[in-house]
Chain A
Amino acid sequence: MSLLEVKGLRRDYGALRAVDDVSFELEAGSILGFIGPNGAGKSTTLRILATLDVPTTGTVLLDGHSLVDAPDRARPLIGYMPDRYGTYDDVTVAEFLDFFARAYGLKGALRRQRVASVMEFTGLGPLADRLATSLSKGMRQRVALGRTLLHDPKLLLLDEPADGLDPRARIELRELLRALADQGKAVIISSHILTELAEICDTCAIIEQGRLLATGRVDDILRQGAGIAELELTVRLAVGAEGEAAWARAERLLLEQPKVARVTRDGNSLRVRVELASGAGTEAMDAAAAALLATLVSAGLPVCAFGTRERNLEDAFMTVTQGRLA
């Protein structure tokens, strides 16, 4: 049985439908990336999952407890980290964590031990006596993550956790999240930094205008663009008016080819989008690329480099959203 089951989630604010019929499942120990542009409904969904908001319709079961009908029972299983760090002035890191541990009802030695283990896990030990507000963004992010872990939740909800972090802090955050997933915690990360998510997440859900457009394992989502490939080729052409005419001829020649859907010029390289029938495999794609290269060479174009660009989550996102955000 999945740890989290979301079925037919809908949230209306008057006439505005912020979330529309969202359904997905999440296993313990897996990381789900929630992808979508600003205003897509990511934060609303996360707020509902955090029991801060109530859906208009739909059910959410966390470890068998309904988040809608019995939120008090489900709340101890949830760790929610909003996009703001939420630290206090004039409070040290240790005091901050101690306060939240008390708030979660942890008492005496158990509380001390829990705070210590969270500080060790997040690497905050050396900073225990520093004021939380004097820390760097990355460190404050760790304090916020530490607070989320104090009550040992089963589900972590992280709203834009990598936003504003430097590359080093992002890598460290990624490692922390991986470690948490290895401990059996389910993690949902909402983000619009797609490359970041591809490296962290096992599964992802693409949401736009409140609707879930695609959900599943990252590999499956990437495969949703099967039949589409982008080829990158570099050609050496003369400069000046003569060269411009040659560029135009090359572009025209490419567009005349049956599988080519789009050609874009970038400096002295051309990017060609080749579209085959939906579900076409790698072999068909390779054959189409070879045929295209042969045509270009036989037409006398000086091709210096030729290759297929690897598809990433960004491409999958644009495919799934049909490029509406482009």
Chain B
Amino acid sequence: MQTAEVAPAPVAVTSSRWEQWSDRVNPLVIKEIRQGLRTRVFWVCFGLMLMACTLLALLAYVQSQDARDFSRAGRDFFLAFFCCLSVVHFFVIPYTAYRSLAREREEETWVLLVLTGLGARRILRGKVSSFLVQAALYASAVGPFLLFSYYLNGISLPSVLVVLGLGGAWLVFLTLVSVCAATLADGRMGRALVHFMLLAVLVVALGQGVGISFMFGHSGDRVLRDDDFGLGLATALMVMLTHGWLLFETAVARLSLPTENYSRGPRLAWGAQWLLGLVGGGAVWWFAGRSHAVAEAFGVAGALQLGVVGLFVATDVDGQARPLRAATRPWSLLRPGAVRGFRLTVLLLVLWGAAWVVLQSQSGMVTYNAESMRMAMAALPLYGLLYLSGALLMGRLPRSNRAASPVAVRVLFALAVVLGSALPPLLALLVGVDADDPLINLLNPLVGTVNFGTQTSGGPKMTWGLLQFLMGVTFLAVFAADRVLVERERQAHQP
């Protein structure tokens, strides 16, 4: 048996230009494309798609020959070709990306990749890029048919570009969702659940993608001329872009080693999303004539989104790995650890609420419920913080670690919100007052917010005093949760 020396020897061979280029490309891209082009899925999908497009093109040709007057069949055929591409782009590619990463984790090849020093971010970037390259290969097959449909008349070039542009963004977003989903569960049951949920999501997403393209295609230039269309399009693209980024960073964090600063990426993306939301929303508010409705919509929707993401950020594990501790300062909010995640959540939620309350108060035309809506906008982030702090206190205050895990605290939060929303109205009915009684429902996140936003004939249903009370209770809960998390981090860092 051969046992030759395995140590490297000096190399004097020059590399070709192709090799130099390939050395600069992410290794994952080369490997995944090599692998992908050998799979049966690729060739079956490619063949079927090409066959369907050819048949449709033949049908279009026959129709155009039979047409007595000027043909306007381009729109329908464009949508038919786009449908063929959509099945691959909105279902096959994201699902294959999910399977690829999920198998990498199941077969434990992920560990081997991480140890090469590539890092989770480069590996995932390579994965996503390789699937987008495969998507481009599919698109290259359908491209000539789409061009052919344009020459059949019936659809304008801007409509074609808008549908293709949105389709591309949807493809990237769904691929990122799938990659993130592949990192979610560790156990067999969890993985199976995520698998089926993703399949359902992708079926719905395929329907949405095709439906929206049909809507655009059929409405034609009419929609494009609509003043609000550009605003809606920009908002949709921004939501997809920022959430796609956040999901990507979440996937990277989930796959990072414990010694890495895994929380920096997702928290940075979240912060950037917050800033973009504030600046973009502020711009929309300004250009919409300092509209109340815009301020209220952004204030409420943003607080809900921050609350949901904050739940994941604030329920990080306690403490951080030894290599990271030395350079961590009290304001290092991007570093791992529940205490810093919680503080970042508090900061972003409070600033968001305050900013939109101020903008709403500066809005142009005063509406009848402006004051009550302002109170609701202030109350919503407070409820989020109150229940988040409550869940953290319930999970991490006891000495036992049974309910201290991130998942357990999230479950506690969900339970607290459900019980906090359902029990006070029942209690109110038991004591013989209205189910939405302001005092009994003061700490109810659902009815409480609605009450704060309700305007009666005599003015707002709730008072500023009650809001201040809610503020005080929330402050105490946040303070207590912060102290508990600080203490737990201290214990976690003890040898």
Contact = CB atoms under 8 A, between A and B. Distances in A.
Interface of A: 14-15, 50-54, 56-57, 68-72, 75-76, 78, 80, 82, 84, 86-91, 95, 99-100, 102-105, 107-114, 117-118, 120-121, 123, 147, 149, 151-152, 172, 175-176, 178-180, 183
B112 A100 contact: yes
B118 A109 contact: no
Given A121-B4, A149-B6, A175-B1, 12 more contacts: A51-B115, A53-B258, A68-B259, A78-B115, A86-B109, A91-B35, A99-B30, A102-B30, A103-B118, A121-B3, A152-B6, A183-B7
A195 to B, nearest CB: 21
A103 B27 contact: yes
B9 interface: yes
Contacts of B114: 52
A-B complex: 6 closest residue pairs judged by Cβ atoms: A108-B15, A102-B27, A179-B3, A109-B13, A103-B116, A90-B38
Contact of B321 (A54, A89, A90, A120): A54
A121 B117 contact: no
B323 interface: yes
26 contacts: A50-B115, A51-B115, A54-B322, A56-B495, A68-B259, A68-B322, A80-B112, A80-B115, A82-B111, A84-B107, A88-B35, A88-B109, A89-B39, A90-B38, A100-B116, A102-B23, A102-B27, A103-B113, A108-B23, A117-B4, A123-B1, A149-B6, A152-B6, A175-B1, A176-B1, A179-B3
B449 to A, nearest CB: 38
A100 B123 CA distance: 12
B3 A175 contact: yes
B interface, size bucket: 35 or more
Given A76-B117, A108-B20, A89 B27 contact: no
A89 B19 contact: no
A14 B27 contact: no
Contact of A99 (B13, B15, B27): B27
B31 interface: yes
Nearest to B119: A72
Given A72-B117, A109-B14, A183 B5 contact: yes
A122 to B, nearest CB: 8
Contact of A84 (B3, B4, B108): B108
A57 B495 contact: yes
B282 to A, nearest CB: 41
B8 A110 contact: yes
B490 interface: no
Contacts of B4: 117, 120-121
A112 B8 CA distance: 11
B6 A117 contact: yes
Contacts of B321: 54
